[in-house]
A and B are shown apart, each in its own frame.
Chain A
């Protein structure tokens, strides 16, 4: 008779975690499919750069043979890794903005009342955003291939872990910014978080580009790998702290959509 009172045994704990992650990725994918303009916009920026600027600069700029390149490469091939990470940067910032917006709309609240640990929920959301950004990058690589940018076939595979890592780092940075956005209005980065300041000085974006560049040619840039790994963990740790109910900025700011 009752739809509520029967108590079925809940699935074992590990399965619950897996189901939760799957649900978050699935929702992100659905949202992505519903927002085709977002997909197109994400591709237009790097493609404009590739088609127009790179085509113009190739006459002027030459790139000497430096690792990982073994032969002389054209400018457009040289900037491709930069454009790939740029796609991920925009994606990370966009999901950061949507999280600020989400939170006002209450979707973040829905996420955070799940009984699973908060660090797991935030990490899952991060993974979901990264998956979308990796898809966008591969779509870009496909178009670039028709344009004559042909990294070695194995590069398409070896670049995947680098893209995941870069996507996680930029996504975590976006999440951190989304939780600090009210604070950033008041304080500058250096004052609010010395850690963040030093991280910015390391210039993680450049290292992400170098990591992807080497990976695209089936090589590893160890320094960049270390920096990107370090930044990813640093940003994630800070973002999870910022969303922690006890320490985070939420309690000091007041409720989203509630009382000020």
Chain B
């Protein structure tokens, strides 16, 4: 845990309430029966930043997402979204959160717009407003002309873009994506990564992007390395690379994860 640091330094000009972290996780632990999935996870994300939650399969990424989205109750630790604890005030926290789950969650038999309008309704957005927002969001992901097509007829990359559009319909300030590029080809992957990056820059959304693919990490991204339920490192990618002495983030990641098991006690 030597490299772990609280991400307090990153400047933020988009949000006046800059003292408030977009996502603050403190001392979060979780168990499935006797198996510990998360061990004392602590980190904070500032508004209008792009952070990558980097970890191999089984590192605890999906568990973390289930806790943040309140599918499971937090048993130890705290999760706050813009200051709202997901335990006592889930409504306020979930209102500020947009989610793209790893498995596809669109209704295949309904049209793209119908899926968006359903999601809007779940957030209490009326039909007219929902249609307007839906059209605006689809234009952003370049799918306006597919609005009335059934989701079943879209490609994997297009479905992901619809899911991102859907996650932003209620205008959350925090967007979390769990392995959003799984099963996509290289072109679709880079398109989605580029689109989500542009959301941070243009809209000031805070993004937490979970992945096991090291090549999705950009040099300027904030990186959180999660391994076997523990945070091994947190900081800008370039800093992690420099500290590890490796040539690139791939080297830094493998150095961290292979070193963690033996010298964890130190």
Given contacts A4-B171, A105-B103, contact A10 B71 (CB under 8 A): no
Partner of B62, one of A20, A30, A252, A259: A259
Of A2, A15, A116, the residue contacting B122 (CB under 8 A) is: A116
A246 close to B (CB within 8 Å): yes
Interface string of A5-43 (1 = CB under 8 A from B): 101101100011101101110110011001100000000
* Interface band, chain A: 35 or more
Question: What B residues does A110 contact at CB under 8 A?
Answer: 101, 105, 119, 122
Contact between chains at B124 and A107 (CB < 8 Å): no
**Out of A19, A117, A250, A256, which one reaches B124, CB within 8 Å?**
A19
In the complex the two chains form, is A245's CB within 8 Å of B109's CB? no
List chain B residues, Cβ under 8 A from A258: 62-63, 65-66, 102
The residues of B that contact A24 with a CB separation of less than 8 Å are: 118, 121-122
Once the chains are docked, how many angstroms separate the CA of A252 from the CA of B120?
Answer: 30
Q: Does B202 contact A (CB under 8 A)?
A: yes
Which residues of chain A in 27-72 are interfacial with respect to chain B, using CB atoms and an 8 Å cutoff?
Answer: 27, 30-31, 34-35
Does the CB pair A31–B110 fall under 8 Å? yes
Task: Flag if A7 contacts B171 (CB, 8 Å).
Answer: yes
- Known pairs A4-B203, A113-B69; A23 contacts B171 (CB<8 A): no
Given A23-B118, A257-B103, A258-B63, A17 and B109 contact (CB-CB distance below 8 Å):
no
Q: What's the minimum C-beta distance from B131 to chain A, rounded to whole angstroms?
A: 13
List of B residues within 8 angstroms of A111 by Cβ: 122
Interface presence of A112 (CB below 8 A): yes
Q: Which residues of A contact B93 (CB under 8 A)?
A: 115
Q: Let me know if B144 is at the binding interface, CB within 8 A.
A: no
Cβ of A182 < 8 Å from any Cβ of B? Answer: no
- Determine whether B114 belongs to the interface, using a CB cutoff of 8 Å to chain A: yes
| Of B60, B71, B91, B127, the contact of A112 (CB 8 Å cutoff) | B71
Q: Known contacts A19-B126, A116-B91, A259-B58; is A30 also within 8 Å of B114 by CB? A: yes
Tell whether, in the assembled complex, residue B72 and residue A23 are in contact, meaning their CB atoms are under 8 Å apart: no
B63/A20 in contact, CB under 8 A: no
Residue B242 is within 8 A (CB to CB) of chain A in the complex: no
The complex places the Cα of A210 from the Cα of B134 at a distance, in Å, of 47
Of the listed residues A7, A117, A251, the one surrounded by the most CB atoms of chain B closer than 10 A to its CB is A251
Q: Smallest CB-CB separation from B60: which chain A residue?
A: A259
Q: Check A15–B124 contact: CB distance below 8 A.
A: yes
**A194 interface contact, C-beta 8 A:** no
CB of A255 within 8 A of chain B?
yes
Closest Cβ–Cβ distance, residue B210 to chain A (whole Å): 11
B110 touching A254 by the CB < 8 A rule? no
In the complex the two chains form, is B118's CB within 8 Å of A245's CB?
A: no
- A23/B101 in contact, CB under 8 A: no
Please name all residues of chain A whose beta carbon is closer than 8 Å to the beta carbon of B52 when the two chains form the complex.
Answer: none
Q: Are A27 and B118 in contact (CB under 8 A)?
A: yes
B123 interface contact, C-beta 8 A: yes
| B32-84 interface with A by 8 A CB criterion | 32-33, 37, 58, 60, 62-63, 65-66, 69-73
Residue among B33, B62, B122, B124 making CB contact with A11, cutoff 8 Å: B124
Q: Is the CB of A254 within 8 A of B32?
A: yes
Report the 5 A-B pairs with minimum CB-CB distance, sorted nearest first.
A23-B121, A16-B124, A106-B105, A258-B62, A246-B73
Given contacts A20-B121, A106-B105, A245-B70, 15 further A-B pairs with CB under 8 A are A4-B203, A4-B205, A16-B123, A20-B123, A27-B114, A27-B118, A106-B103, A107-B107, A109-B71, A110-B101, A114-B123, A116-B122, A252-B33, A255-B62, A259-B37
Give B contacts to A, CB under 8 Å.
Answer: 32-33, 37, 58, 60, 62-63, 65-66, 69-73, 90-95, 97, 99, 101-105, 107, 109-110, 114, 117-127, 129, 133, 136-137, 140, 168, 171, 199, 202-205
What are 21 A-B pairs at a CB distance below 8 A? A10-B124, A11-B126, A16-B123, A16-B124, A17-B124, A19-B125, A19-B126, A27-B107, A104-B103, A105-B104, A109-B69, A109-B105, A110-B119, A110-B122, A111-B122, A115-B124, A117-B91, A245-B71, A250-B71, A252-B33, A256-B103
